[in-house]
Amino acid sequence: MASLRQLSALGLRKAIAAGEVSALEAAREYLGAIDELDGQLHCFNQVHRDRALERAGAIDRKRAAGEPLGPLGGLPLAIKDNICTAYGKTTCSSKILADFHSPYDATAVSRLEAAGAVVLGKTNLDEFAMGSSTENSGFAPTRNPWDVSRVPGGSSGGSAAAAAARLCAAALGSDTGGSIRQPASFCGVVGLKPTYGRVSRYGLVAYGSSLDQIGPIARNVGDAALLLSVIAGHDGSDSTSLDRPVPDYLAELDKPLKNLRVGLVSEFHSQSLWPEIRQAVDRCAEAFGAAGAAVTEVSLPHSRIDAGPDGILSSYAVACYYVVAMAEASSNLARYDGVHYGHRTAKPVKDIIELYCRSRAEGFGQEVKRRIMLGTYALSAGYYEAYYLKALKVRRLIKNDFDAAFAKCDVLLGPTTPETAFPLGAKTADPLTMYLSDVYTISANLAGLPGISVPAGLSRENLPIGVQLLSGAFNEPVLLRAARLLEVALGPAPAPPLAGSN
């Protein structure tokens, strides 16, 4: 048999179920790859070696006894380190939570393990999921397995790089403004952001509560559909989780889509878009047309990207997102004060206010501090109406644009990112240019819609290019089938050069 790490998650699941390979062998091979490669990549904050081997052994014993293994029986997976696990630590890649032990598992983690998954460890991210490059981690940046001098994207950069480098069969990330789709694009894997409310947020450490969603990062569309089928569904512990039936996402994945209508978003072909990525989007539109889909141009007016006289790009969606997200971050992160949660300063203080100030100053990184301050300002007296309330109104307009587009189309096609993976340090001095890395992804979060990034070839520099598909709320079955159609038309995505010696 070929290396276990060359198998897709579906392929490995089949091999384990058939007894061709044991779950313990699979876990050991992936753990060996982590030992070999993670020193260069820093995908993982923690590796739970003993626990993973113990669970893999238990799965093998179940198989030997003739017991059902579950839909993920024996698959070695990774979990983004802002998703709570009752074992190990949940740090959010922040010094303020460097020693935090969650008392419970997130619902998504519980569902994975109930389905037979083997969790290898927790992956690195931008601190509290605030960033687009994983350079804002409080521990160390993650590097892109296609070129270790470049970023993997963010904030789920550790999960995307681990999936691409074959350090796990698939991973969970979280997406607040593109944090699954953008790193998936940069690392040449599939990243799926579900509809808001499709997957429970219980146990996901909150950044922007009206925007955050947990979703899968995998090597292909089928593997992403497999993970979504396990983690999706209503959860009484999460008031934002909607009680709707979960379709069998895998059952009709390869069934042809008749009369598919694909909308090519005109606003996404802006001057910020690299020509190679525009060409990739055009190739994908042609592939849809060749498969019998009707491809038409559609407009999302409030997602338009403009360049001002100073050359700085702007967008209603970007401005709206960063007001809403930072306001929610300001509220959500108020609890990390050295008393209720997190790091407490060891320096002498004269009162509780100084305790709060010192603890937060020592525990939070610069980007988190920036977003807390901007969010607090937007919510403050005299500015709430001018910024936050106005952003909520623009958010409604963005949702209206999508409603109008989906009255004409089943899915929308566009780029995932304006460029390929950039060098480490290239944007850290200019937060605005970093924020614009998510210019094509954030509108879906504002509207609560599902989106998926699919690999669409390599650039001249041998870096992955991703294209994005969006669909209406809870229309993941059509979204996944359209993504699968595109994946088949484009051919298998290649593995990065740094994918181990196995």
Residue 198 near residue 172 (C-beta atoms within 8 A): no
pLDDT at 499: 79
CA 381 – CA 383 distance, rounded (Å): 6
What size, in residues, is the chain? 502
Say how many C-beta atoms besides its own lie within 10 A of residue 422's C-beta: 20
Strands (E) in 24-117, as ranges, are 44-47, 76-80
Task: Locate 17 and state its tokens.
Answer: 């179920």
The secondary structure of residue 268, as a DSSP letter, is G
Residues 6 or more apart in contact with residue 151 via CB below 8 angstroms: 133, 134, 135, 141, 142, 143, 144, 157, 186, 421, 422, 423, 424
Spacing of C-alpha 458 from chain mean position: 21
At 162, the pLDDT band (50, 70, 90 cuts) reads very high
pLDDT at 473: 98
Per DSSP, helices labelled H in 351-464 are 352-363, 366-379, 390-406, 431-435, 442-447
pLDDT at 436: 86
pLDDT at 1: 42
Q: Which of 155, 229, 315, 437 is labelled catalytic?
A: 155
Q: Classify burial at 12, counting beta carbons within 10 Å of its beta carbon; exposed 0-12, middle 13-18, buried 19 or more.
A: buried
Q: Which of 93, 159, 174, 179 is labelled catalytic?
A: 179
At 310, the pLDDT band (50, 70, 90 cuts) reads low
List domains and CATH numbers for the chain. Answer: 4-258+430-490 (3.90.1300.10)
Nearest to 438 by CA among 156, 90, 107: 156
pLDDT at 502: 42
Task: Locate 80 and state its tokens.
Answer: 């983004």
Q: Is the pLDDT of residue 345 over 70?
A: yes
At 382, the pLDDT band (50, 70, 90 cuts) reads confident
CA 75 – CA 72 distance, rounded (Å): 6
Residue of higher predicted confidence among 432 and 64: 64
Give residue-wise pLDDT tens across range 238-262: 999 999 999 999 998 999 899 999 9
pLDDT at 222: 98
Give residue-wise pLDDT tens across range 434-471: 988 899 999 999 999 999 999 999 999 999 999 999 99
CA 286 – CA 419 distance, rounded (Å): 21
pLDDT at 313: 54
Give residue-wise pLDDT tens across range 131-158: 999 999 999 999 999 999 999 999 999 9
- In the residue annotation, 179 being an active-site residue is answered as yes
Phi, psi for residue 188 in degrees, rounded to 5: 75, 35
Q: Which of 22, 80, 330, 437 is labelled catalytic?
A: 80
Amino acid, single-letter form, for residue 234: H
* Per-chain mean pLDDT for the chain: 94
Residues 6 or more apart in contact with residue 64 via CB below 8 angstroms: none
Nearest to 120 by CA among 173, 70, 75, 69: 75
Mean pLDDT for 58-72 is 96
Q: Is the pLDDT of residue 312 over 60?
A: no
Give residue-wise pLDDT tens across range 72-117: 999 999 999 999 999 999 999 999 999 999 999 999 999 999 999 9
